[in-house]
Amino acid sequence: MTQAHPTAILTRPAGRNTALVQVLTQRGWPILECPALEIQSVPLQAQHKPLPRPDAFDLVVFVSRAAVAGYKHQLPNGYAWPQGLQAACMGPVTAGAIQRAFGADLTVLHPQGAASQDSEALWPLILAQKTLPRSVLILRGQDGREWLSQKLIALGIAVTVQQTYQREVASWSEPLCGSLRALAAAQAQVVWLLTSGHGAEAIVQKMKALELLPWFERSAFVLTHERLRPVLGKALGREFAQLCHAVASPEDEAIVLCFDQIVHQLKQT
């Protein structure tokens, strides 16, 4: 019989799980933190080009919290956000990070509520503005958001892309690897939290290296976007519909509810 609380394995970058760990622990979940990716800021000198400043654009799009932190690191200390310049992002978590970094009164355009938190959800909000931007700065990692760039360019909007952080597959300590091997040896039921396509691919890569892929495929999954289904399925080389999973929005409250939903699903199996 499936135990009431499987182990929750959290794969967000180090430092991003504090509040989630506290809530899940209070609800009886054993926790194992296995960061899929390491996020590193990209120094300006590594860009080999002048830094695009916000005041040169009509709209600045931050693709994630990592983009916020990376861009703030690249800007001069004490940089003041230009008055009246709007920022945009894909969800309220990143919006909060933008306002903490550049000012609580900064207007941030982003999808609200239960809407998908992605470029497709942001796009109609951009189109709904009284005046379309003539120039847009997109702040991202080494890749991503090509769809948004193409849609903007198709409207004749000038797009500049700036890399503000670098994603690398995380290094795992031997004790962490040992914990995973012990869970696999015991055929323990676990629930993985996967929050990005790159992260999902990195986790599959790590599981292959540890020769734990068969156990991993019998896990359950909490995903923070529908788009992660085909990404994980492709990485595993199988139909994702065969895997036990649930989809939540990226906020911690929604993720916790999704973990509870997974427990209910497991009890039915």
Say whether pLDDT at 59 is over 80: yes
Under DSSP, the state recorded for 55 is G
| H or E element, residue 209 | helix 197-209
Say whether pLDDT at 250 is over 70: yes
Question: Residue 2 has what pLDDT?
Answer: 43
Whether the model clears a pTM of 0.85, i.e. scores above it, the answer is: no
Buried b (16+ CB within 10 A) or exposed e, 127-159: eeeeeebeebbbbbbeebbeebbebbeeeebeb
Point out the least confidently predicted range of 177-181, 211-215, 265-269. 265-269
Under DSSP, the state recorded for 45 is G
Mean pLDDT in residue range 58-84 = 94
Mean pLDDT of the chain: 89
Cβ contact 60:54 at 8 Å: yes
Give the model confidence (pLDDT) of 93-141 as tens digits. 899 999 999 999 999 999 986 556 688 889 999 999 999 999 999 999 8
